[in-house]
Amino acid sequence: MSIHRHQFSRRSILAGAAAVGLTGTLAACGGSDDDSGKSSGPVKLTYWSWAPNMDKVAAIWNKKNPDITVTVSKQAAGKDIVSKLITAKKAGNAPDLIQVEYQSLPTLVSNDVLADISKYAKSAKSEFAEGLWGMVTLGTDAVYAIPQDSGPLMFFYREDLFKQHNLTVPTTWDDFAKTARAAKKALPNAYLTTFSSNDPGLFAGLAQQAGAKWWTVGDGGKWTVGIDDAATKKVAEFWGGLVQEGVIENQPMYTPAWNNALNKGTNIAWVSAVWAPGVLVSSAPDTKGKWRMAPLPQWSAGESVTGSWGGSSTGVSTDTKHAEAAAKFAAWLNTDPEALAALVKEVAIYPAATKGQSGSVLTPPAFFPNQTDFYDTAAKIAATTAASAWGPNVQVAYDTFSDAFGKATKAKKAAQFDTALATMQSATFTDMKKQGFKVTEA
Amino acid sequence: MTATPLKGSGRTTAGPLADGTATTVRPRRIRRRGRSAPYWFLVPAVLLFAAFTVVPIGYAVWLSLHKVQVKGIGLGKGARQQVWNGIGNYTAVFEDSEFGHSVLRAFGYGLIVIPTMLGLALVFALMLDTPRARSAKFARLAIFLPYAVPGIIAALMWGFLYLPTVSPFYYLLREFHLPQPDLFDGGNLYLSFANIAVWGGTGFNMIVIYTALRSIPQEIYEAARIDGASDLKIALRIKIPIVMPSLVLTFFFSVIATLQVFTEPMALKPLTNGLSSSWSPLMAIYDAAFLRSDIYGASATAVVLALATFALSFTLLRVSDRYTREDRA
């Protein structure tokens, strides 16, 4: 609240309170309750999703399945939906269907928001790569969601500037460091890219590529937190070194300044995921046709492993009275060819289902007219995605990342990157211990 | 958050009506019915007050005394239980140095904002009140206008202006080879936030003080002028002492708003590495409740902040009461 916003009269606050009360009741009316029982009338399902145009895909389903009607309720993305869902669950009115980011699955399962739909959805397993399916089962016999989209990491670079300055497209992280130095020499006002502290998802994906396992469950029924394991340390030290050296920028992503850097060519590459073209269209509109995508640099030459950044799944809540119908919709949405085509066309996602990643469904992104085999390359890269290991308090780890790495990147000190990682580890471990989880440190 | 201004609303409506009905033919019965009338008038206000202030506050206090207890690896049904935690969350608040720092940061910010904002507001109000002020109407509107800009939009707009690569100010600094300070760094952050608050809040406070100035009878000034007082002397010796209650009031509001600073740091946070997610006390509460999903700890912190604000307000009111009373005597 800003200093001048607070000087309301008593009356306006009272009126505001009344208005809030009103919307509260209205919102309650929009809930997922369906008192009609099983026999009478169509089943009505509510689907919380933040993806644009998801209602158009649901409309296809509604037309074909008059007995199960799905209504999409647009939500704020990612991290915001988690606390909202936990709160809704406490109130006993969580929606029937939920879009969930992979890293939030354990948190929601731990809060008993997501139902086990293995009874209805086991057959969907064959439609997905093993690593992706592992994320929605959490390594158990249960199935907590159906994978929807995935975000394999890739290396995006300005093809024109790389050619003009004789920069090599890195295949290993050693090369990446060399290219960063060469780029700084060739273009003193520019950087190869930035290390941002405001999106922990990218760092998690890079650690995943290096082989990190941040959360694991041992045989004894105990969590192990290993955020500062050797693999993650390697990643943190690598980027910290480059930031300290001054060849990688330290500014956050998704700011007007960052957009400007991409658009004006003062950031000439971006380690990002398959959805990058959609971001570049709006962040760097003047650079159409100048970018190219390559596989992510590797830790040892000849390897091909990537991590993932983002991606989500469709889950069924424990509050639903129609788990079977909801699971049916979730499976249809993410495996049916017509639904996949609509997801690609209307929602602009990169489908998680293997058959959605090839064929005529995916037309190359208009922003990359110079790379007509964009999605063929992407499918090959996606197949090399390393397994991820998420835990029940990812939010705490992510939150700590932003603060701790924010300080480190600002200071431009490699040693502080190490400290930041240790802070992340201890904050995550302490939080789990405080909540009563059986947990040890790696 | 505070909803304290609600208290006492609706209190005056019943009195006169009850007296009015007491004069009819059969006084005894009517009076009895009349006696209950005020309470009926109170019902809507009391209900709203209970539903939207008392119950939520009670629930927050109840939450703050509990915590979640996880069993085993905590997956699946029944893995989480809400258990009694006594004052555990409260001791955690006082042990958390980060929260203490956030309070200190808020005070640091207030030390810059409040004197600057109120000082400017007073100076502008006095200047507008002098008989020689020209185009006073336009100036008043121009100074007040930023107050009409929603806080979040103001913060975003200033955020753009603070970013070196997109800000026109930095463009000029570069062109003239002047030093380009990093407005998101350390101490400069306070100045950056304070600037937004001063820009947005001065107008409002100026209007409050100006209105008080306009209600001073002109005869006092005439008398002062006959005694040979200059405009400056009139301002210092007559105007400021008379508008003192308004100044105290605006100061009082500003202190509370300072403790609750949220919009500016929240809107600027994504633009920089230099701003932690618990920069101000309210940000720390928001972070705990909505990002870390620790409703229990967040409730405890909120209760502590509310009590501290209440204590501070109460003390300030006592002090200012005494001050104005002495002034009158």
| Residue B172 and residue B55 in one domain | no
Chain A residue numbers with beta carbons less than 8 Å from the beta carbon of B112 are none
| Residue B15 and residue B122 in one domain | no
Two tokens at A402?
A: 């932003």
Domain span at residue B320 reads 96-328
* pLDDT at residue number A139: 82
| Residue B216 and residue B274 in one domain | yes
| Residue B130 and residue B233 in one domain | yes
Interface touch A436/B75, C-beta < 8 Å: no
Q: Let me know if the fold of A39-151+310-357 is the same as that of A152-308+377-441.
A: yes
Enumerate the H helices of B130-167 as residue ranges. Answer: 136-144, 151-162
* pLDDT at residue number A7: 36
Residue B77 domain-assigned (yes or no): no
Q: Which member of A223, A252, A395 has the closest CB to residue B73?
A: A223
| Residue A314 main-chain phi, psi, to 5 deg | -115, 120
Two tokens at A426?
A: 């201890």
Question: What does the pLDDT average to over B215-228?
Answer: 91
**SS3 string of B18-76?**
HHHHCCCCCHHHHHHHHHHHHHHHHHHHHHHHHHHHHHHHHHHHHHHCEEEEECCCCCC
> Distances in Å between the alpha carbon of A116 and those of A110, A272, A326?
12, 32, 12
pLDDT mean for each 10 residues of chain A (442 residues) = 37 38 38 44 92 94 95 84 90 94 93 93 89 87 94 97 96 97 96 95 96 89 93 97 96 94 96 94 95 97 93 95 95 94 89 85 88 92 90 94 94 96 97 92 86
**Domain A39-151+310-357, CATH:** 3.40.190.10
ipTM of the complex: 0.82
Measured in angstroms, the CA of B270 and the nearest CA of chain A are apart by 7
| Residue B200 and residue B290 in one domain | yes
Residue B248's CATH number: 1.10.3720.10
Interface A-B: count of C-beta contacts within 8 A: 177
Among residues B49, B64, B79, the one where a domain terminates is B64
Distance between CA atoms of residues A32 and A41, nearest Å? 15
Chain B residue numbers with beta carbons less than 8 Å from the beta carbon of A7 are 204, 253, 257
Question: What does the pLDDT average to over B237-263?
Answer: 91
| Residue B174 and residue B299 in one domain | yes
Among residues B64, B84, B106, the one where a domain terminates is B64
| Residue B15 and residue B113 in one domain | no
How many residues are given for chain B? 329
Determine how β-strand A145-158 pairs with β-strand A68-74.
unpaired
Interface touch B270/A252, C-beta < 8 Å: yes
What are the residue boundaries of the structural domains of chain A, listed by start? 39-151+310-357, 152-308+377-441
Q: pLDDT for B301-313, tens place per residue?
A: 999 999 999 999 8
* pLDDT at residue number B280: 95
Residue B91 domain-assigned (yes or no): no
| Residue B190 and residue B234 in one domain | yes
Measured in angstroms, the CA of B326 and the nearest CA of chain A are apart by 27
Measured in angstroms, the CA of A303 and the nearest CA of chain B are apart by 33
Question: What does the pLDDT average to over B243-265?
Answer: 91
**What SS3 class is residue B235?**
helix
* pLDDT at residue number A355: 87
| Residue B60 and residue B101 in one domain | no
Interface touch B201/A3, C-beta < 8 Å: yes
* pLDDT at residue number B33: 61
Mean pLDDT for all residues in chain B:
86
Spell out the CATH class of A152-308+377-441. Answer: alpha beta
Chain A residue numbers with beta carbons less than 8 Å from the beta carbon of B183 are none
Interface touch B257/A10, C-beta < 8 Å: no
* pLDDT at residue number B322: 78
In the 8-state DSSP scheme, what is residue A363? P
| Residue B37 and residue B116 in one domain | no
| Residue B51 and residue B145 in one domain | no
Domains: count for chain B: 2
* pLDDT at residue number B29: 55
How far does Cα A391 stand from its chain's mean position?
15
Mutate to test the interface with B, among A1, A3, A258 (most CBs of B within 10 A): A3
**What SS3 class is residue A271?**
strand
Burial of A17 (0-12, 13-18, 19+ CB in 10 A): middle
Q: pLDDT for B89-143, tens place per residue?
A: 999 999 988 999 999 999 999 999 999 999 999 999 999 988 888 888 899 999 9
| Residue B33 and residue B178 in one domain | no
Model confidence at B179, in pLDDT bands (50, 70, 90)? Answer: confident
| Residue B19 main-chain phi, psi, to 5 deg | -65, -40
Question: What does the pLDDT average to over B16-41?
Answer: 61
Chain A residue numbers with beta carbons less than 8 Å from the beta carbon of B51 are 21
Full strand arrangement of the beta sheet holding A223-225: A215-217, A223-225, A439-441
Distance between CA atoms of residues A25 and A16, nearest Å? 14
**Do A390 and A428 contact (CB within 8 A), yes or no?**
no
Place of tokens 């500016």: B264
